[in-house]
Amino acid sequence: MKKIILLIIIFILSITTIFRFSLFNHGNNEVNIKSDSVITIPRKFTKIEYDNFEDNIDLSYYSENKEINNDYIGDLKIDGLINQKVVHTTDNEFYLNHNFEKEYFSQGSVFMDYRNTLEDQNIILYGHYVYKDETAMFSPLHLLKDINNYEEYKYIFLNLGEEVRKYKISKVYYYIMGSQNLIFYETNYSESEFENYMKYVDKAVFYDTGVQMSNDDSFITLQTCVRNRDDLRLIIIGKRIEE
């Protein structure tokens, strides 16, 4: 009887490990998948305007959040679509299932890749797709698969307390788990690495935004899961722009 119980425990732990590993695993297979049905998300968002985004610096707000959680680095906002606090710690595991107060929460938090610094070329942020609430976390990013939504949601803001960085969405595509070419997860690229990456991204994008990118650019990458497709991740790339 004890042996059976032990085997059951080992099986459950194995399944849990596989699930957690799959969220950020980058393996060795290549599949050509470019599109998927566009989901409709109920409009429950408060429109946040950032026409003069420098005026939205609020050091007291930043300090208050920093006191609550020292892992806090700022807020990620897409007008009317995304409004999430961003955290950063020493691994990509903890905030998969913990909220801003570090309490267990299945939806997790939006977090920056543990390898990142804010000086890197590519700032990588992860957030869950929430099956039961398509307005939560990074679920609304799936609206950007539809070119008809691009103009309304094309700007990303990263409020870091003393500065607000503005990005313009340049690429929307599916990362295929195991791809050796759609490598979104590098924090910095050499010239040849970037050219190779963009070559394959341009083949995979849902549509052409008209935003050109070079290896001299800084950019932000948002990653989330795809409903009923464990082999895919939705990737949004935003090019940093100066006002």
Give the start-to-end residue ranges of the domains of the chain. 44-241
**pLDDT higher than 60, residue 53:** no
The one-letter code for the residue type at 68 is I
Report yes or no: 219 and 240 within 8 Å, Cβ to Cβ: yes
Q: Using DSSP, state whether 85 is helix, strand or coil.
A: strand
**pLDDT higher than 60, residue 2:** no
Confidence of residue 56 (pLDDT cuts 50, 70, 90): low
For 57-114, what is each residue's pLDDT tens digit?
678 999 999 999 999 999 999 999 999 999 999 999 999 999 999 999 999 999 999 9
Which of these CATH numbers, 3.40.50.2300, 2.40.260.10, 3.40.1030.10, 2.30.40.10, describes 44-241? Answer: 2.40.260.10
Rg (CA), the chain: 18
Residue found under tokens 């930043």: 62
Q: How many CB atoms lie within 10 A of CB 243?
A: 7
Confidence of residue 1 (pLDDT cuts 50, 70, 90): low
At residue 73, the pLDDT reads: 98
Q: How far apart are the first and last CA of the chain?
A: 68
For 19-50, what is each residue's pLDDT tens digit?
343 444 443 333 344 444 443 343 333 344 44
Which residue from 71, 79, 235 is spatially nearest to 166, judged by alpha carbons?
A: 79
Please report which residue ranges of 73-187 form alpha helices under DSSP H.
none
Nearby residues of 181 by Cβ (< 8 Å), 6 or more positions away: 30, 196, 197, 199, 200
**pLDDT higher than 70, residue 234:** yes
For 153-207, what is each residue's pLDDT tens digit?
999 999 999 999 999 999 999 999 988 888 899 999 999 999 999 999 999 999 9
CA dist 133 → 44, 76, 77, 85, 127 (Å): 11, 19, 18, 18, 13
